[in-house]
Amino acid sequence: MSNKPLLLDIDDLKVYFQIKDSGAMPWTPSHTLKAVDGVSLKLYEGETLGVVGESGCGKSTFARAVIGLVKAEAGKVLWLGSDLTKLDHKALRDTRKDMQMIFQDPLASLNPRMTIGDIIAEPLQTFYPELSKTQVKEKVRAMMTKVGLLPNVINRYPHEFSGGQCQRIGIARALILEPKMIICDEPVSALDVSIQAQVVNLLMELQKEMGLSLIFIAHDLSVVKHISDRVLVMYLGNAVELAESKDMFANPSHPYTKALMSAVPVPDPKVERNKKIEILEGDLPSPISPPSGCVFRTRCPIADEQCAKTKPKLEGKIEHQVSCLKVSV
């Protein structure tokens, strides 16, 4: 992927929240929740980067910080060379034409009081107010056709559509501005399996047609394997492994990644019965008080005293990097 133009360059991104205990007095000190704790990566033009990890590992917060919906505590987010974390409100708003987001809950992300035509047209009216009503309507109808929606339903409301159709409306809204990057925050997790495949294939077709770059967040590793060029594995706000998709699924290096990959079902019954499943011991630590050193050490089968003293960095070859003191690639 390094031979393609660089679109997004994230360096040591951190997102912290100040949390108070339930029922705490106003003067009680707050706790720092480290939702994202120093993630670095690059995204290239036309590439799909899959982001995986357990619930609460910081995937969605990371995505929202990249696009500016959540304020970053520290780090840089370079978009075509400009640091998004340093831009003022107007400059960031103008940049958002090139980066859009598809959310997890299709129906909840749509305004129930607006027709789907108005929902899809809203970004055009915001960024291109000079367009006439006829021009806007033509563009909306064309985009509806592109995502598999009949243009004659343009005046219907979101509650009249299925979950899969609502997600297509969300995709149409995200693509109407012809952005360079789409962040997909678990876009198929709320859909039936058959509909998931349709939506994923639609995203892949649109990516090829429009030259999109995707950050695809999901729990379903089979879906991530199908759509991604590279995969980032996160644990407790940290990046623990980053590799090309084929290499990640064939040769996972980090103990946490191995446990995730061992849980992916194999279509062959014989292979599925005989494969070894890596079981993680213990519970996920709290991001308010993460373990010292390596955040995974409390559940890691190969951790030792050194792991409690030193925090590992994501290191290795360009095509495969791992954050572990005991494993190298």
Q: Which domains does the chain have, with CATH numbers?
A: 6-98+179-322 (3.40.50.300)
pLDDT at 111: 92
pLDDT at 30: 87
Task: Over range 307-326, report the average pLDDT.
Answer: 92
Question: How many helices and strands, by DSSP H and E, does the chain display?
Answer: 11, 12
pLDDT band at 2 (very low <50, low <70, confident <90, very high): low
The CA distance from 69 to 62, in Å, is 10
The CA distance from 329 to 319, in Å, is 10
pLDDT band at 49 (very low <50, low <70, confident <90, very high): very high
Q: What is the DSSP letter of 159?
A: G
pLDDT digits (tens, 9 = 90+) for 292-307: 999 999 999 999 999 9
Give yes or no for a contact between 196 and 113, defined as CB atoms under 8 angstroms apart: no
Neighbours of 25 (CB within 10 A): 7
Task: Over range 208-218, report the average pLDDT.
Answer: 94
**pLDDT beyond 80 at 130:** yes
**pLDDT beyond 80 at 1:** no
| Dihedral pair phi/psi, residue 243, rounded to 5° | -155, 165
**pLDDT beyond 90 at 120:** yes
pLDDT at 29: 82
Task: Over range 306-325, report the average pLDDT.
Answer: 92
pLDDT at 136: 95
Task: Over range 235-239, report the average pLDDT.
Answer: 94
Among candidates 128, 131, 130, 150, which has minimal Cα distance to 141? 150
**pLDDT beyond 80 at 190:** no
Range from 25-29, 226-230, 232-236 carrying the lowest mean pLDDT:
25-29
**pLDDT beyond 90 at 234:** yes
Range from 122-131, 190-199, 305-314 carrying the lowest mean pLDDT:
190-199
The CA distance from 108 to 101, in Å, is 14
Strand 99-102 and strand 82-83: the pairing is unpaired
